[in-house]
Structure 1
Amino acid sequence: MQETLTALSSTSSGRLRHRDSAESNWYKQIRDIKMQTREQFIIKQHQNSQFDHNHQRVWRVSGAETNWKMNFNILRSIFFFCGLTLAHSGANTTETNPYHPDMCNLLKDFGAMTEKVKSMETRLKETEICLKEAVTRLKDSENQILELQSKERTKIIFSATAGRGNAHIGPFNTDIIIDYKKVITNFGNAYSPVTGVFTAPVAGVYYFTIFYHGGRSYPHYLRIFKNNEMTVFTADHKTESDGADNGGNAVFLQLQQRDQVYVSMAANTYVGGDDHTTFSGFLVTQT
């Protein structure tokens, strides 16, 4: 588009310069004709002044005729050059006029196209921003889905009993950690039947329960510890009236990864070693 406008402007400027040059040449030729006519008239006047007085009237008549012919030639030359100038001007007008409407239309079309391009660029930028926001939301949703799927796949469940048959556990003269030897369920292998300690594999909220069975000869006192901190306990006093005692408790604990949970039995107490005495837990939700 820019190259077309430049070419049209150059063509118009060239034609105007050509027209100005033609008009300048025309005025120059008219001036030269006038000067030549004046010089011829002076020469004739000088020659005729040498005639005697008897021929003065003849000279005047002849000079008038000569002046009339000269003036006629001058007028004819003027009309001729005027005709050439008008013809050339008309030709230029005929050639130039058709370009002006096209140039105006091109400028109008160019302006309209420029506005359309700007509008399209604005819409494209808005669309790009919307797409970026949509991609961000999509990534967030994917991350949430992956996180939920990961949480669903992470199953931590265990349940174990004392596993000693009819033998009692205790009494001992110090506190001990009970190792529940008979493992019923251990999804995630977070519970160790060797040490009796549950180690949290992931951070989250866990649920733990303990139950026991014991006789009347000694008191019973079991506690659930989180690391080195006691959380809940279950207990019963020594009595001669009851043939056997049972007890239990439960707790929700928020654990960090590698936190430990275990059951401690107090000194000088005991519990039955059969399957009545249990320790269980599972992961409720990750945090």
Structure 2
Amino acid sequence: MEFRALRLLTLLGLLFVEPGFGQRGDMDVGEWLREKAELLNAFGDKLKDVRALEARLNATVDQLTGQKAEVDRLREENEGLKTRLSATEEEIDTLKQSNANGAPRVAFSASLADFGEIYKGPCTDKTLIYKRVFSNTGDGYDQSTGVFTAPVCGLYFFSFSTYGYNTHVTGAILMKNGARQVSTYDGLAADGSDGAGNAVALQLVAGDAVHMELWDGGRVFDNLNGHTTFSGFLVFPA
């Protein structure tokens, strides 16, 4: 409807502005109108092409806008990954520097017998003194008393094993500052011998003492095969 109105207005305008229009014959006017109509039709076709091209351009713009938004999102995500990677690298450097600057190293491992065979218990002094020391980094373990003293505050991991025969109760108790923590235990039984083990992680402050004790009336056995043992190490300082 708008196009028809445009065509009519155009014809009217041409009628008023065409020089010498009133001097043309009927055949000249008809031919002139046909030429103008063809021109207007061509113009309408061109206008359709322009509108189609405009629609395609708008679609392309929308597509490019979407792609730009995706690129911006990926750029932001990449920046976030860079930030996290940088933080991780800084944390690793901090850990390396902490280790290089002398972070405490504490670990020990020992067994009851340093030669021959030994039966410990029953006895009044139930403290187990492990004489055969495999390692004692940090010098926290005292092989003369059987006591480990924490040199620094932190989380420590301890493990121990016991072995004995069925003539007595077999087992031991891990003590922290004189208080029972965890233990192994095997009562009198028909089998010839019994072995057991246990472990625990303890939060210690510098100066806390950890040692092993026999059960009342208990006995353990060891030789150079290392059946009855006591070990511990610092997991991390606190």
The bucket for the TM-score relative to the shorter chain is: 0.5 to 0.7
> Displacement of 1:149 after TM fit?
2.7
1:266 is matched with 215
- Look up the match of 1:276: 227
1:191 aligns with 2:177: no
Secondary structure in structure 1 of the residue aligned to 2:142? coil
Confirm whether residue 166 of structure 1 aligns to residue 81 of structure 2: no
Distance in structure 2 (CA, Å) of the matches to 1:145 and 1:270: 45
Separation in 2 of the partners of 1:150 and 1:268? 49
Q: Judging changes above 3 Å, is the alpha-carbon distance between structure 1 residues 206 and 224 closer, same or farther for their aligned structure 2 residues?
A: same
Match of 1:247 in 2: 196
CA positional deviation for 1:152: 5.9
Q: Is the 8 A contact 1:175 1:267 kept in 2?
A: no
Distance 1:168 1:285, change over 3 A: same
Moved over 6 A (4+): none
| Count of aligned positions | 145
- Equivalent runs, 1:91-102 vs 2, <5 Å: none
Measured in 2, the distance between the counterparts of 1:205 and 1:244 equals: 34
Q: Which structure exhibits the higher relative contact order, with contacts defined as CA atoms closer than 8 Å and separated by 6 or more residues? A: 2
- Residues 1:206 and 2:156 aligned together: yes
Scaled by the length of structure 2, the TM-score of the pair is 0.56
- CA-CA distance at 1:191 after TM superposition: 0.2
Return the index of the structure with the highest Cα Rg: 1
Hey, what does 2:126 align to over in structure 1?
Answer: 176
Aligned residue runs from structure 1 range 35-50, under 5 A = none
Deviations 1:179-235 (A, max 9, x none): 000000111111011000000000000000010111111011310011121110110
Please give the per-residue CA displacement for 1:16-59, whole angstroms capped at 9, x wherever unaligned. xxxxxxxxxxxxxxxxxxxxxxxxxxxxxxxxxxxxxxxxxxxx
Match of 1:115 in 2: none
Aligned to 2:176: 226
Shift of 1:250: 0.2
1:219-254 Cα shifts (integer Å, max 9, x gaps): 113100111211101100011x20110011100000
The 2-side partners of 1:165 and 1:257 are apart by 35
How far apart are the structure 2 equivalents of 1:233 and 1:152? 34
Q: Which runs of 5+ in 2 are unaligned?
A: 1-90
Identify, as 1 or 2, the structure richer in helix.
Answer: 1
Using the aligned pairs only, state the percent identity.
Answer: 37
How far apart in 1 are the matches of 2:95 and 2:168? 54
Asked if structure 2 preserves the Cα contact closer than 8 Å seen for 1:214 and 1:245, the reply is yes
In structure 1, the residue corresponding to 2:152 is in which secondary structure? coil
Distance in 1 separating the partners of 2:101 and 2:186? 39
TM normalised by structure 1 equals: 0.47
Q: Counterpart in 1 of 2:166?
A: 216
Q: Are the aligned partners of 1:151 and 1:285 in contact in 2 as well (CA < 8 Å)? A: no
Residue 176 of structure 1 aligns to which amino acid in structure 2? K
| Alpha-carbon spacing, 1:242–1:230, altered in 2? closer, same or farther (3 Å) | same
2:71 matched to which residue of 1? none
1:150 positional shift: 6.5
Which letter maps to 2:118?
A
Superposition pairs for residues 138-177 of structure 1, below 5 Å? 148-149=98-99, 153-163=103-113, 164-172=115-123, 174-177=124-127
Distance in 2, Cα, partners of 1:272 & 1:279 = 13
Higher strand proportion: 2
CA distance in structure 2 between the partners assigned to 1:194 and 1:285 by the alignment: 27
Write the distance in 1 (CA, Å) between the matches of 2:159 and 2:176. Answer: 13
**Which amino acid in the other structure matches residue 228 of structure 1?**
G
Q: What is the CA distance between 1:165 and its match in structure 2?
A: 2.7
